[in-house]
Amino acid sequence: MMATVLITGANRGIGLEMTRQLLARGDAVIACCRSAGAELAETGAEIIEDVDVTSRLSVSVLADALEGRKLDWLINNAGILERTTLDNLDFAAMERQFRVNSIGPLRLTAALRGSRGKGSNVFIITSRMGSIDDNTSGGSYGYRMSKAAVNIAGKSLSVDLLEDGIGVFLMHPGWVATDMTGGTGIDVEQSAAGLIKTMSGLDIDKTGTFWHQEGYELPW
Protein backbone atom coordinates (compact mmCIF):
# COMPACT_ATOMS: atom_id res chain seq x y z
CA MET A 1 0.00 0.00 0.00
CA MET A 2 1.32 3.43 -0.90
CA ALA A 3 2.47 5.47 2.08
CA THR A 4 2.73 9.24 2.44
CA VAL A 5 6.18 10.16 3.74
CA LEU A 6 7.58 13.54 4.76
CA ILE A 7 11.37 13.88 4.81
CA THR A 8 13.37 16.87 6.03
CA GLY A 9 16.84 17.61 4.70
CA ALA A 10 15.75 16.07 1.40
CA ASN A 11 17.89 18.15 -0.94
CA ARG A 12 21.06 16.06 -0.70
CA GLY A 13 22.76 13.07 0.84
CA ILE A 14 20.69 10.49 2.67
CA GLY A 15 17.50 12.53 2.45
CA LEU A 16 17.73 12.84 -1.32
CA GLU A 17 18.48 9.15 -1.78
CA MET A 18 15.66 8.06 0.54
CA THR A 19 13.34 10.30 -1.50
CA ARG A 20 14.42 8.53 -4.69
CA GLN A 21 14.07 5.04 -3.25
CA LEU A 22 10.71 5.67 -1.57
CA LEU A 23 9.32 7.10 -4.79
CA ALA A 24 10.66 4.09 -6.69
CA ARG A 25 8.70 1.71 -4.47
CA GLY A 26 5.51 3.71 -5.02
CA ASP A 27 5.28 5.96 -1.97
CA ALA A 28 4.22 9.60 -2.08
CA VAL A 29 7.05 11.77 -0.77
CA ILE A 30 6.87 15.31 0.57
CA ALA A 31 10.48 16.48 0.34
CA CYS A 32 11.27 19.39 2.64
CA CYS A 33 14.39 21.51 2.46
CA ARG A 34 15.66 25.07 2.62
CA SER A 35 16.20 25.27 -1.14
CA ALA A 36 15.71 22.55 -3.76
CA GLY A 37 18.44 21.76 -6.24
CA ALA A 38 18.12 20.19 -9.68
CA GLU A 39 18.62 16.62 -8.40
CA LEU A 40 15.69 16.85 -6.01
CA ALA A 41 13.50 18.55 -8.61
CA GLU A 42 14.20 15.70 -11.03
CA THR A 43 12.82 13.10 -8.60
CA GLY A 44 9.24 14.23 -9.11
CA ALA A 45 8.63 14.44 -5.37
CA GLU A 46 6.32 17.06 -3.93
CA ILE A 47 8.77 19.70 -2.75
CA ILE A 48 8.26 22.23 0.03
CA GLU A 49 11.07 24.77 0.27
CA ASP A 50 12.05 27.31 2.94
CA VAL A 51 11.74 24.69 5.68
CA ASP A 52 14.08 25.57 8.55
CA VAL A 53 13.67 23.20 11.50
CA THR A 54 15.32 25.73 13.82
CA SER A 55 12.63 28.32 13.11
CA ARG A 56 9.32 28.28 14.98
CA LEU A 57 7.73 30.37 12.22
CA SER A 58 9.00 28.14 9.40
CA VAL A 59 7.75 24.98 11.09
CA SER A 60 4.40 26.63 11.85
CA VAL A 61 4.00 27.59 8.17
CA LEU A 62 4.75 24.00 7.17
CA ALA A 63 2.22 22.63 9.66
CA ASP A 64 -0.44 25.00 8.27
CA ALA A 65 0.36 23.91 4.70
CA LEU A 66 -0.15 20.27 5.68
CA GLU A 67 -3.36 20.78 7.63
CA GLY A 68 -5.85 18.05 6.81
CA ARG A 69 -3.24 15.73 5.28
CA LYS A 70 -2.17 12.52 6.97
CA LEU A 71 1.42 11.29 7.09
CA ASP A 72 2.28 7.62 7.44
CA TRP A 73 5.97 8.33 8.04
CA LEU A 74 7.71 11.44 9.32
CA ILE A 75 11.47 11.18 8.75
CA ASN A 76 13.44 13.79 10.69
CA ASN A 77 16.59 13.72 8.59
CA ALA A 78 17.87 17.32 8.60
CA GLY A 79 21.16 17.55 10.48
CA ILE A 80 24.58 19.16 10.59
CA LEU A 81 28.05 18.06 11.67
CA GLU A 82 30.68 20.51 12.88
CA ARG A 83 33.82 19.03 14.37
CA THR A 84 34.76 20.12 17.89
CA THR A 85 37.64 18.71 19.93
CA LEU A 86 38.82 19.26 23.48
CA ASP A 87 41.53 21.52 22.10
CA ASN A 88 39.05 23.46 19.97
CA LEU A 89 35.76 23.77 21.82
CA ASP A 90 33.76 25.95 19.45
CA PHE A 91 30.70 26.60 21.59
CA ALA A 92 28.85 28.50 18.85
CA ALA A 93 29.21 25.42 16.61
CA MET A 94 27.97 23.22 19.44
CA GLU A 95 24.88 25.40 19.90
CA ARG A 96 24.14 25.32 16.16
CA GLN A 97 24.23 21.51 16.22
CA PHE A 98 21.85 21.41 19.18
CA ARG A 99 19.38 23.71 17.42
CA VAL A 100 19.34 21.60 14.24
CA ASN A 101 20.04 18.07 15.46
CA SER A 102 18.27 18.03 18.83
CA ILE A 103 15.60 20.72 19.03
CA GLY A 104 14.68 20.63 15.33
CA PRO A 105 13.24 17.08 15.27
CA LEU A 106 11.32 17.70 18.49
CA ARG A 107 9.93 20.99 17.19
CA LEU A 108 8.77 19.42 13.92
CA THR A 109 7.35 16.25 15.43
CA ALA A 110 5.29 18.26 17.91
CA ALA A 111 4.07 20.70 15.25
CA LEU A 112 2.94 17.90 12.93
CA ARG A 113 1.22 15.83 15.60
CA GLY A 114 -2.15 16.53 13.99
CA SER A 115 -0.94 15.11 10.66
CA ARG A 116 -0.38 11.65 12.10
CA GLY A 117 -2.71 9.04 13.45
CA LYS A 118 -2.75 5.52 14.82
CA GLY A 119 -0.31 3.31 12.95
CA SER A 120 1.93 6.13 11.73
CA ASN A 121 5.62 6.27 12.59
CA VAL A 122 8.17 8.95 13.39
CA PHE A 123 11.80 8.28 12.51
CA ILE A 124 14.70 10.38 13.72
CA ILE A 125 17.94 9.98 11.79
CA THR A 126 20.44 10.12 14.61
CA SER A 127 23.88 8.51 15.01
CA ARG A 128 25.55 5.86 17.11
CA MET A 129 27.91 8.72 18.02
CA GLY A 130 25.07 9.71 20.36
CA SER A 131 25.35 6.38 22.18
CA ILE A 132 26.97 6.67 25.61
CA ASP A 133 27.71 2.96 25.85
CA ASP A 134 29.26 2.85 22.36
CA ASN A 135 31.57 5.85 22.82
CA THR A 136 35.12 4.52 22.90
CA SER A 137 36.86 7.22 20.84
CA GLY A 138 35.81 10.48 22.51
CA GLY A 139 35.93 13.87 20.79
CA SER A 140 33.25 15.31 18.49
CA TYR A 141 31.70 17.02 21.50
CA GLY A 142 29.01 19.08 19.80
CA TYR A 143 27.84 16.35 17.44
CA ARG A 144 27.87 13.58 20.04
CA MET A 145 26.03 15.72 22.60
CA SER A 146 23.41 16.84 20.08
CA LYS A 147 22.72 13.25 19.01
CA ALA A 148 22.56 11.98 22.60
CA ALA A 149 20.05 14.76 23.28
CA VAL A 150 17.85 13.85 20.31
CA ASN A 151 18.00 10.19 21.35
CA ILE A 152 16.46 11.01 24.73
CA ALA A 153 13.95 13.32 23.02
CA GLY A 154 12.94 10.44 20.76
CA LYS A 155 12.59 8.11 23.72
CA SER A 156 10.34 10.59 25.53
CA LEU A 157 8.28 11.10 22.35
CA SER A 158 7.78 7.35 22.13
CA VAL A 159 6.25 7.37 25.62
CA ASP A 160 4.09 10.45 25.05
CA LEU A 161 2.80 9.35 21.63
CA LEU A 162 2.12 5.74 22.58
CA GLU A 163 -1.49 6.47 23.54
CA ASP A 164 -1.97 7.94 20.04
CA GLY A 165 -0.73 4.70 18.48
CA ILE A 166 2.30 6.47 16.95
CA GLY A 167 5.68 4.73 16.94
CA VAL A 168 8.94 6.64 17.37
CA PHE A 169 12.29 5.17 16.35
CA LEU A 170 15.90 6.37 16.39
CA MET A 171 17.85 5.36 13.28
CA HIS A 172 21.61 5.23 12.69
CA PRO A 173 22.40 5.45 8.96
CA GLY A 174 25.99 4.23 9.22
CA TRP A 175 29.04 6.33 8.39
CA VAL A 176 27.92 7.50 4.97
CA ALA A 177 29.89 9.13 2.15
CA THR A 178 28.11 12.50 1.97
CA ASP A 179 29.12 16.15 1.96
CA MET A 180 28.75 16.06 5.74
CA THR A 181 31.42 13.36 6.15
CA GLY A 182 33.78 14.61 3.48
CA GLY A 183 32.86 11.79 1.12
CA THR A 184 34.14 8.96 3.34
CA GLY A 185 32.06 5.94 4.32
CA ILE A 186 29.53 3.60 2.75
CA ASP A 187 27.57 4.53 -0.37
CA VAL A 188 24.52 6.67 0.27
CA GLU A 189 22.44 4.21 -1.78
CA GLN A 190 23.37 1.39 0.60
CA SER A 191 22.55 3.46 3.67
CA ALA A 192 19.18 4.62 2.34
CA ALA A 193 18.19 1.11 1.29
CA GLY A 194 19.14 -0.27 4.70
CA LEU A 195 17.25 2.45 6.51
CA ILE A 196 14.09 1.94 4.47
CA LYS A 197 14.21 -1.84 4.89
CA THR A 198 14.75 -1.61 8.64
CA MET A 199 12.14 1.12 9.13
CA SER A 200 9.61 -0.90 7.17
CA GLY A 201 9.95 -3.74 9.67
CA LEU A 202 9.30 -1.62 12.77
CA ASP A 203 5.93 -1.21 14.46
CA ILE A 204 4.46 0.16 17.67
CA ASP A 205 5.60 -2.88 19.65
CA LYS A 206 9.20 -1.72 19.19
CA THR A 207 8.61 1.99 19.76
CA GLY A 208 11.34 3.90 21.59
CA THR A 209 14.24 1.82 20.26
CA PHE A 210 17.54 2.66 18.53
CA TRP A 211 18.43 0.87 15.28
CA HIS A 212 21.36 0.48 12.90
CA GLN A 213 20.45 0.64 9.22
CA GLU A 214 21.76 -2.91 8.90
CA GLY A 215 18.82 -4.09 10.99
CA TYR A 216 20.12 -4.59 14.53
CA GLU A 217 19.35 -2.70 17.72
CA LEU A 218 21.96 -0.35 19.17
CA PRO A 219 22.83 0.36 22.82
CA TRP A 220 21.96 3.69 24.38
pLDDT digits 0-9 by tens, 131-182? 999 899 999 999 999 999 999 999 999 999 999 999 999 999 998 867 666 6
Interacting residues of 191 by C-beta distance below 8 A, sequence separation 6+? 14, 17, 173, 174, 176, 213
Q: How many CA atoms lie within 13 A of 91 on its CB side?
A: 0
* Domain residue ranges of the chain, discontinuous segments joined by +: 4-212
Which superfamily does 4-212 belong to? NAD(P)-binding Rossmann-like Domain (3.40.50.720)
* Other CB atoms within 10 Å distance of the CB of residue 24: 10
| % of the chain with per-residue pLDDT over 90 | 90
Tabulate helix, strand, coil % of the chain (nearest 5).
Answer: 45, 15, 40
User: pTM for this structure?
Assistant: 0.95
Four-residue CA torsion sign, 1, 210, 88, 136: negative
At 180 the pLDDT is 64
- Asked if 12 and 179 count as a contact pair (C-beta separation under 8 A), the reply is yes
**Distance in angstroms between the alpha carbons of the first and the last residue of the chain:** 33
Beta strands 73-76 and 121-125, pairing class: parallel
Q: What angle in degrees, to the nearest 10, is found between the helix axes of 104-111 and 56-65?
A: 30
**39 and 101 in contact (C-beta within 8 Å)?**
no
Place 94 in a pLDDT band, splitting at 50, 70 and 90: very high
Query: Tell me: the pLDDT tens digits for 1-54?
Result: 689 999 999 999 999 999 999 999 999 999 999 999 999 999 999 999 999 999
